[in-house]
Amino acid sequence: MTQTIGSEELGRMLRTAAAKVRQAVPTLSQLDSVIGDGDHGTTMDRAMGLIDKALDAAKGAAPKAVLNDVGWAVLGVDGGASGPLLGMFFLGMSEAVGEGAAVDAKGVAAMFEGGLKSLQQQTKAVVGDKTMMDALMPAVTALRGAADGGASVAAAMAKAAEAAEVGAASTKDLQARFGRARNLGERSKGYQDPGATSLSLLLRGMADALA
């Protein structure tokens, strides 16, 4: 089992995550067309392309630098709040990962906690608000619990991905409290949140890369 990850593994995680999101672009756009303005899929598609380009340019760099470059690349994506929020997430991960060339499971948990903390400085959304936080917050909690319990990086990431998927699925029954969807009130129920869905896809891709 994977006990540590370095730049090579991190790059593979991010590329697999980007591919996973790209495969779901039509679904993400369809979800957003119901409760948003319909551009989430295309925005995420552009963001994933920028991730790949940043990884190409950062080849051989330490994890901290890789995440920093990815964060700044995604931060500039136009098309609503998704790009900037995702960019801040990666920048927060970079700040938390440390200077080392290899990261163990507890370090990966700290990395994701840093990403979450960075997002919490940008939004007040929490679990239950029908946003990406419904997927991210349970994922980070699951990741930390698995890491502290002695799980490998791969096993801990698998737990995080599972929690993110459950969280994303739960948004179908929620009423939106943030973004354009909140204007729909009760009508926002019955549809899974596109932001939570794309976040869960990112986590699943990362986990699959290590499986």
How far apart CA 154 and CA 147 sit, in angstroms, is 10
Are 124 and 78 in contact by the 8 Å Cβ rule? The answer is no
**Which tens digits make up the pLDDT trace of 137-150?**
999 999 999 999 99
SS3 102: coil
How far apart CA 150 and CA 76 sit, in angstroms, is 37
Question: How far apart, in Å, are the Cα atoms of 85 and each of 49, 143, 209?
Answer: 16, 20, 23
SS3 173: helix
E-only strand ranges, 17-130: 103-104
CATH superfamily of 4-210: DhaL domain (1.25.40.340)
In the chain, where the domains are located: 4-210
pTM for this entry: 0.92
DSSP summary character for residue 80: S
**Which tens digits make up the pLDDT trace of 16-71?**
999 999 999 999 988 877 656 667 888 999 999 999 999 999 988 999 999 999 99
